[in-house]
Amino acid sequence: MSSNSLPLTKKGEKTRQHLLNIAEEVFGEKGYFNASIVDITQKANVAQGTFYNYFPSKQSIFEELVRNMSHTFRSEIRNAIKTADSFEESQRIGFRTFFSWVKNHRDLYSIVQQTVLVDEELYRWYYERLASGYIKGLEEAIGKEEIKKYDTETIAYCLMGISQFLGMRWIYWEDRDVPEDLLEDAIALIFQGLRK
């Protein structure tokens, strides 16, 4: 939300989005604690006062980046798995979508990792929101008897951890796609444990 409650003009919306885009780059490059509002405004080529028309603080723009990213990312996953015929297929598609997202949003991926140090409550919110989508899918799969009945929250966090660390290992650290055979190994590991 804007620091003032008045609706934004088209130009105002464009400026606000530009500041968010630049903040993503600056936080991704420098990290939250080394980045400043001056860094953001200089790179955005706007006056410092312009920043405060839209965001009351560095933390507020950071928080909005994380919240926007959560919404956009979860929406991408939901859209990607719509056509899946089974829970297993939805996981395979979901993992690939996540890996593609990490590859195309390296700065945002870095920002999420920084969030634990910036705002632990926001970090927890981010992962709880993500887990809620997994839990819903797991409950549906259990209802269809595609998988065993386990605690869905526990399985959700296990699945998120597997995708998180495969993405980090290959895409973030190596700047390579996750090898297809390794993705299939992970899927096999998951479903040999979950299948009925």
In terms of domains, do 89 and 122 share one? Answer: yes
**Enclosing domain of residue 73:** 64-194
In terms of domains, do 23 and 70 share one? Answer: no
pLDDT given for residue 1 in this prediction:
44
Token digits for 126? 């981010």
Pick from 56, 79, 94: which residue ends a domain?
A: 56
Token digits for 143? 């209802």
Domain count, the chain: 2
The enclosing domain of 129 has a CATH number of 1.10.357.10
In terms of domains, do 154 and 90 share one? Answer: yes
Give pTM, 2 decimals: 0.86
Over residues 62-104, the pLDDT tens digits come to 999 999 999 999 999 999 999 999 999 999 999 999 999 989 9
Over residues 142-154, the pLDDT tens digits come to 999 999 999 999 9
Count other Cβ atoms within 10 Å, centred on residue 91: 24
Q: How confident is the model at residue 193 (pLDDT cuts 50, 70, 90)?
A: confident
Contacts of 51 (CB under 8 A, 6+ apart): 19, 37, 40, 41, 44, 61
Q: How confident is the model at residue 194 (pLDDT cuts 50, 70, 90)?
A: confident
